[in-house]
Amino acid sequence: MQASMSINPVANELTLTIRDVNWEELQNAPFYEGECQVRALLQLLGQELTTHLLQSKDVSTPRLELEGQSYYRKEASAGHYQTLYGEVVISRHLYQTSAGGATICPLELNCQLSFGSATPLLAEVISFKLASQTAGEVEQDLAKSQGLALSDTYLRHLAHQVGQLALDKRAAWHLQSPAPTAPVAIIATGLDGTTMPLVDEDYKEAMCGTIALYDAEGTRLHTEYLGTMPETGKATFRESFTTRVTQVKEHYPEALQVCLGDGAQWNWEFFHAHYPEAVWVLDFYHAATHLHAAAALIFSVPAEAAAYYDRWRTTLLEESNGVAAVLRSLLYYRNRADLSARSQRALDTELNYFRTHTERMQYADFRAAGLPIGSGVTEAGCKELIKARFCRSGMRWKRPSGAPLLQLRAIRLSRQWDSFWSKVMRYAA
């Protein structure tokens, strides 16, 4: 089959002609076979239209002036370009200075071919898919849906280029998410670590941060995800997270910031260093887990431990300064003579946990003010941002190859892709 195109600019008409296609035979074929043929026809038309678009951006003047430098036309040569509809080959002009050196291709500059032979749309689609799927899965996906034959090596290389650009511009480009559907009253920031497999290093801790927006009623409006590969000292995470939180706070200057975290000391040291003015909330699930452990130490009968836990969990959650009542109860049982020395030491650990985080466990007051009390958003972010993509069976990562992909995945999950790609086309391509 062959396709051709003719244009009538006066009538504003474009005519596409397909030759060597037997439509009657196609109609008489089983419907599925007909659908497959229609897909092939659409791919052929896409190639024809994209070829004309590429050719329209070519330049053939004898001399070009670019950034104060004169370039002279060389003989036209064939260019091979990968598009969403398959490879196209066209003749285009190259230019070079009188002293020789590198050649430039005006067609490629005008078409914003910044990622090798891939057109911008193909580069966007591939990098968007690689943010969620493996290269092998994307290879099969494109082969089945688009009829494209692209190797997983090509796909990885292309996505790496796009992801590296996203990394390099992470601080400079203020990416936008869809506008919230209600006024933003609360900015809840959380961070957590989760392990991922590295080449020759076993499992190391990667970092995940979340910035969640809430309205005055406590309804979550949007969540933004940030992540970094494992690193000593977490310097890259500190910089990227604090920079982005600053940008969000500047966008919603009237919003109250809440810092949510588990009991890890590093989290609270981070919050103390960067957000001393925020409201700090210890994740209620973690607090309840420690209460459950304390109940099991106090009561050897599971039913009694469960009843104790249920009662004091309700107190912790619903009563003003309920943590103080919990502490008094734990201290009472800690001083009982019938507890073993080992159980007393273990209960001391739980007591210290509640003492340390007393101000961060004012859950009744937090809830009355409409503040979130759970870090589940961040924990879910660890699973969705890192575990689901980087911890699949047999995977091992290197930091230079994992970081660009992690950045693309964060952009996709944060629903910032359109904002990101518009900046790619405006500033980088």
DSSP characters for 15-36? EEEEES--HHHHHHS-HHHHHH
User: What Cα–Cα distance (Å) separates residue 129 from each residue in 11, 134, 140, 382?
Assistant: 39, 8, 12, 20
CA distance 280 to 373: 10
Residue 99 class from Cβ within 10 Å (0-12 exposed, 13-18 middle, 19+ buried)? exposed
Provide the phi-psi class of 232: left if phi over 0, else alpha when psi is between -120 and 50, else beta. beta
Contact 83, 119 (CB under 8 A): yes
How does pLDDT run across 377-426, given as a tens digit for each residue? 999 999 999 999 999 999 999 999 999 999 999 999 999 999 999 999 99
How does pLDDT run across 176-227, given as a tens digit for each residue? 999 999 999 999 999 999 999 999 998 999 999 999 999 999 999 999 999 9
Higher pLDDT, 140 or 172: 140
User: What Cα–Cα distance (Å) separates residue 347 from each residue in 127, 263, 287, 324, 426?
Assistant: 51, 16, 14, 16, 60
Residue 429 is predicted with a pLDDT of: 62
Bridge partners for 5 per DSSP: 16
Residue 413 is predicted with a pLDDT of: 97
Q: Report the chain's mean pLDDT, rounded to a whole number.
A: 94
Residue 428 is predicted with a pLDDT of: 75
Q: Burial letters for 311-326: b for 16+ Cβ neighbours within 10 Å, e otherwise? A: ebbebbbeeebbbbeb
Bridge partners for 258 per DSSP: 188, 279
How does pLDDT run across 23-78, given as a tens digit for each residue? 999 899 999 999 999 999 999 999 999 999 999 999 999 999 988 899 999 989 99
CA distance 285 to 295: 15
Q: Is the pLDDT of residue 337 over 80?
A: no
CA distance 261 to 264: 8
51: its two tokens: 């070829």
CA distance 328 to 330: 6
- Residues with Cβ within 8 Å of 49's Cβ and at least 6 positions away in sequence, in order, are 5, 16
Residue 103 is predicted with a pLDDT of: 93
Residue 195, CB-side half-sphere exposure with 13 Å CA sphere: 6
Read off the pLDDT band of 125 (50, 70, 90). Answer: very high
Q: Is the pLDDT of residue 3 over 90?
A: no
Domain layout of the chain by residue ranges: 1-108, 284-368
Residue 171 is predicted with a pLDDT of: 87
Q: Cβ of 327: how many Cβ atoms within 10 Å?
A: 17
CA distance 137 to 150: 12
Residue 1 is predicted with a pLDDT of: 85
Q: Beginning with the edge strand found earlier in the chain, give each strand of the sheet holding 186-198 in spatial order.
A: 220-228, 202-214, 186-198, 256-261, 279-282
Alpha helix locations (H) across 131-206? 135-145, 152-168
How does pLDDT run across 223-275, given as a tens digit for each residue? 999 999 999 999 999 999 999 999 999 999 999 999 999 888 899 999 999 99
Alpha helix locations (H) across 275-340? 284-298, 302-318, 322-334
pTM, 2 dp: 0.90
CA distance 105 to 213: 46
CA distance 225 to 377: 10
Could you give the percent of the chain with pLDDT greater than 70? 100
What is the phi/psi pair of residue 61, to 5°? -65, 150
What is the phi/psi pair of residue 184, to 5°? -85, 120
Read off the pLDDT band of 129 (50, 70, 90). Answer: very high
CA distance 317 to 258: 18
What angle separates helix 322-334 from helix 341-356, to the nearest 10 degrees?
Answer: 160
